[in-house]
Structure 1
Amino acid sequence: MQTLPLAPRPAPTTVLAAVLGLTALAGWGAFASKAWSQQDLTEQVELLQADRGRLLAGLKQIEQTNAELARDGQEKLASVRDELTQALTARDAAKGQFASAQRELATLKKRLDQARDRVSETGSIKTVEAKKAGR
């Protein structure tokens, strides 16, 4: 049998250089991957901050609109209260006038009844005419 010649064995420094080179390449690859990942995260943070700014601006606008609506509502409520007060005052005045008119009507009705009674007693209204002439 013939023996095959063995390949020459590499020198330990060559093996060490190859291992260090591969390790360096792996390290730089990991660094590049991390840098890309970091850049993506930075872009996402910037987008989120921009979205946050827009949302805060929208919230501020909504709060201003809400404050204006509340102010308008309070003004309208005050106006309605004033109108109600005026209506109640007018109602009370009308009630007073109505009561006065009822009293006057009752007085006039009483006078009418008295005049009718006198007419039925005397058959004429001469006493009333005489009173009017004397005035």
Structure 2
Amino acid sequence: MHQMHKEVNTLNAPRAFASIMHHAHDAAMNLRTYRTAKRLTQQQLAELVGVDQATIQRAEKMHSSARLETYIKCADALGVTLSDLFSDERTAEEALLVIAFRSSDASRRKVLSALAIEAGSQPPSPAQ
């Protein structure tokens, strides 16, 4: 389990999650983006986290019956945080970069960071 998830106060978590879910319908949900970036079907992710495919489908659609526990298990299985799942919408490419960075060792992270800094310091290419 991700360290952040271990630090959640379990007494406050249901209320906090309900509050997030109340506002989250207007925000983008990245569970599907991260799942597809890992080339997993809903069924495959369901098997990894020990739920059925319909549970994953409801979570991706942010159905009111979706449980915090499901999102935590999905985040852990995908190698991301809850924050990643509920943050601004990301493209599949951005999701892959986050996954690659987090799953890399320290030396590879340095290389990826250097590439990101270099790419960020260059002006955007003109549209063709």
Structure with larger RCO (C-alpha < 8 A, sep 6+):
2
- Same topology, TM > 0.5: no
TM-score range, shorter chain: under 0.3
TM normalised by structure 1 equals: 0.20
Higher helix share: 1
Looking at CA atoms only, which structure, 1 or 2, has the larger radius of gyration?
1
